[in-house]
Amino acid sequence: MKIATYNVNGIRSRLPRLLEWLDETKPDVACLQELKCTDDIFPVGEIAGAGYGAVWHGQKGFNGVAILARGCNPEETARGLPGDPDDAHSRYLEAVVDGVTIASIYLPIGNPQPGPKFDYKIAWMERLRHHAADLYAGERPVVLAGDYNVIPQDEDTFSVRAMAGDALTQPESRAAFRTLLAAGWTDAIRARHPAGRFYTFWDYQAGAWARDAGFRIDHLLLSPAAADRLVDAGVDKATRGKEKASDHAPTWIVLR
DNA sequence: ATGGCCTGTGGGACAGGA
């Protein structure tokens, strides 16, 4: 079972690339972020045409998450992250596919920091910690996949200095991510590849792609029952190099 | 060494991304 996460940066602009990637790599499940569209204009027809059922949680202009499943319809189990009824951002969607609970996460960036946007990021991560604990207690296979907007370690960025003031590398951001790992969640890429560059994002600016000036911010965290089934993990780096690409590359795992 | 972009909204810049 191949499960991927892909921040598409606008699903309508990205649709040809998305359909091409689905056809080439055939993930069983694809968690998408940054749809940047409302629910009524989500391209459900084109995605069904590619052989995928879908659930989605859109928003005008920004954010937006979806879960696609090949040959079946994901069974939605949560829409929105619990813990703040006033939070109107579409950043969390959860569904069960083939017995595996899968979340599509678009975590707040938090820039500029310090400030209210950073406070929102940290509060959101605290809510995620609580909800993740509930899922963990169920002792079922769970995959928390998405754009976490956290660079976990110095080796996950091309330049520690360039990112020093950024919300993605702040000690509070890293601590909140590390808290999930300490609670028993497995960072799938690092479980399979303890060392080395596994960047998932390269900025459109400053020739970042050409210089390989990227960082690793798209993650798949696994509950123990899912981690026991992990056989492979990787990044579809070539997807980032195509015309009209998203600034993120798809990141994936294979569970047996 | 520095700076370089893209998407959506809406019909011109600007917000937001990271």
pLDDT tens, per residue, chain A with 256 residues: 999 999 999 999 999 999 999 999 999 999 999 999 999 999 999 999 999 999 999 999 999 999 999 999 999 999 999 999 999 999 999 999 999 999 999 999 999 999 999 999 999 999 999 999 999 999 999 999 999 999 999 999 999 999 999 999 999 999 999 999 999 999 999 999 999 999 999 999 999 999 999 999 999 999 999 999 999 999 999 999 999 999 999 999 999 9
Give the Cα separation of A199 and A214 in Å (integer): 6
- Give, as ranges, the nucleotides of chain B with any atom within 7 Å of a protein CB: 3-9, 16-18
Give the Cα separation of A175 and A150 in Å (integer): 10
Closest Cα to residue A66, out of A102, A28, A27, A120? A102
Residue A248, annotated as binding a ligand: yes
Through-space separation of residue A36 CA and nucleotide B14 C1' in angstroms: 16
Residue A247, annotated as binding a ligand: yes
Give the Cα separation of A78 and A198 in Å (integer): 30
Residue A7, annotated as binding a ligand: yes
- Measured CA to C1', what is the nucleotide nearest A36? B8
User: Tokens 């069974």 appear where?
Assistant: A75
Closest Cα to residue A199, out of A243, A151, A135? A151
Q: Which domain holds residue A28?
A: 2-255
Residue A37 beta carbon within 7 A of nucleic strand B:
yes
Q: What is the pLDDT of residue A106?
A: 98
Instruction: Write down how long chain A is.
Output: 256
Give the Cα separation of A8 and A21 in Å (integer): 11
Q: What is the pLDDT of residue A195?
A: 95
Residue A245 belongs to domain with CATH number: 3.60.10.10
Judged by phi (left if over 0) then psi (alpha if -120 to 50, else beta), residue A59 lies in beta
Helices and strands per DSSP (H, E), number in chain A: 7, 14
Give the Cα separation of A72 and A52 in Å (integer): 7
Catalytic pick among A92, A106, A136, A199: A106
Judged by phi (left if over 0) then psi (alpha if -120 to 50, else beta), residue A14 lies in alpha
Ranges of H-type helices in chain A: 11-25, 44-49, 116-137, 171-182, 188-192, 224-227, 237-240
Structural domains of chain A, count: 1
CB under 8 Å to A125, separation ≥6 — which residues? Answer: A107, A173, A176, A177
